[in-house]
Structure 1
Amino acid sequence: MRGALPAVLLVVLLGGCGVPVDDRPRPVSAPPGSFPAATGTATTDPDGRVDETLCFVRGDGLAAVTRRVDGVSSVDTHLQHLLAGPDDGERERGLSSALPGTITVAGASTTGAVVTVDVREAGEEAGRSDEVLAFGQIVCTLTQRADVDSVGFRRDGQPLEVPRADGSLSALPLTAADYRPLLRR
């Protein structure tokens, strides 16, 4: 009997440690004070604007620029910002784009952290031969996002082999590392 008393006492004490159950839902208020900012690559200012990185062409390489935009963009919107090309100030700093006339982007889809960009063949009138820079612009821009690890390309529903900085072709999803030799500071 002596050993049963501590066991019964333990059960009684532990039974009082539970969380009480309410009969119906009740409103919950946020605690006072500020909350720490969420972690990520975007820098937010008080107006909700964030940094967005775009990669353009400078000389024979790629240069990343940062723009302030209204909130975190979707992958499609981020891609549209890249396709619009450098703004006046960026052009004055010697930036351009290899995308117009090289490849035509028809859309993008995301599966996990991989973006697949659908491209159409550029017309004969394109007159550009810097595909490596064009594909590099897309890969380096999209992989700057916290939610994108790599970028693949397809044409007519089939994986497309695209040039990497070393001149080799790859149908596998690419990362900024595949274009590192082209990145300029």
Structure 2
Amino acid sequence: MITVRGAATLTATLLLLTSCGVPAQDEPHPVTLPRRPLNATSSATATDPGGEVAQVLCLVRDNRLAQSVRRAAAMPAAQQQLDQLIAGPTPAEQAEGLTTALAGTALAVTVTPEVAVATVEISETEENAARSDEVLAYGQIVCTLTSRADIAAVSFHRDGELLQVPRGDGTLSSDPLQAADYRTLIGPA
């Protein structure tokens, strides 16, 4: 037999479990999302015209990878996004201290949709063009391309040959790389 106290406890428990603080609605309603950069601490795109999609470019600030979000009417092709990355930061992004380790680099990307791997072809570099920021350059490419829904990993080639490139921890890898391989270099937004 259920006592009055037990019934009251059962009723209170049911009320607590079934109420989450959101009133029930008979029909769905539209949700208006904010039209601002996804990383709220950045004002780099505040002067850019509002668009329908956000594209992420991984730039460099204080020897760390930093994401910058740009709005566009439509998602650019992977090569277009890579070209924007090579072109470097906008004046507004530069004012926030963002730079690039890719200036003057020639890259071509192809995406294999079945496996969601992007192949980046790197042109021949000059003999005496060793860079101290090479790991940041590869990190920028990998983090930018893998921010796309259609690319899960990136491999690097030169003249069709697979390259070993540095990961964030300094080890070399010829495996397809993901943003997680550079997590130690990703700085605060």
Aligned residues between the structures: 143
Aligned position for 1:111: 112
Q: CA deviation at 1:70?
A: 2.4
Are the aligned partners of 2:87 and 2:103 in contact in 1 as well (CA < 8 Å)? no
Q: Please give the alpha-carbon distance, in whole angstroms, between the structure 2 residues aligned to 1:161 and 1:174.
A: 11
Aligned position for 2:60: 57
Aligned position for 1:147: 150
Aligned position for 1:137: 140
TM-score with structure 1 setting the length: 0.71
- In the alignment, is residue 159 of structure 1 matched against residue 156 of structure 2? no
| Aligned 1:1-185 pairs, distance under 5 A | 49-101=52-104, 103-105=105-107, 107-112=108-113, 113-124=116-127, 126=129, 128-185=131-188
Structure number having the greater strand percentage? 1
Q: Please give the alpha-carbon distance, in whole angstroms, between the structure 1 residues aligned to 2:128 and 2:71.
A: 34
Secondary structure at the counterpart of residue 184 of structure 1: coil
Secondary structure at the counterpart of residue 141 of structure 2: helix
Q: Which amino acid aligns with 1:109?
A: T
Q: Please give the alpha-carbon distance, in whole angstroms, between the structure 1 residues aligned to 2:63 and 2:123.
A: 24
Secondary structure at the counterpart of residue 98 of structure 1: coil
1:82-108 CA-partner distances (Å, limit 9, x unpaired): 11100111111111000125x531x11
Are the aligned partners of 1:104 and 1:122 in contact in 2 as well (CA < 8 Å)? no
Q: Which amino acid aligns with 1:130?
A: D
Are the aligned partners of 1:160 and 1:171 in contact in 2 as well (CA < 8 Å)? yes
Q: Which amino acid aligns with 1:100?
A: A
Q: Please give the alpha-carbon distance, in whole angstroms, between the structure 2 residues aligned to 1:49 and 1:137.
A: 24
Q: Which amino acid aligns with 1:137?
A: Q
Relative to structure 1, is the Cα distance of residues 61 and 50 closer, same or farther in structure 2, using a 3 angstrom cutoff? same
Secondary structure at the counterpart of residue 131 of structure 2: coil
1:47-78 CA-partner distances (Å, limit 9, x unpaired): 75311100001111100010111211111111
Q: CA deviation at 1:125?
A: 5.5
Q: Quick one: percent identity of the two aligned structures?
A: 48
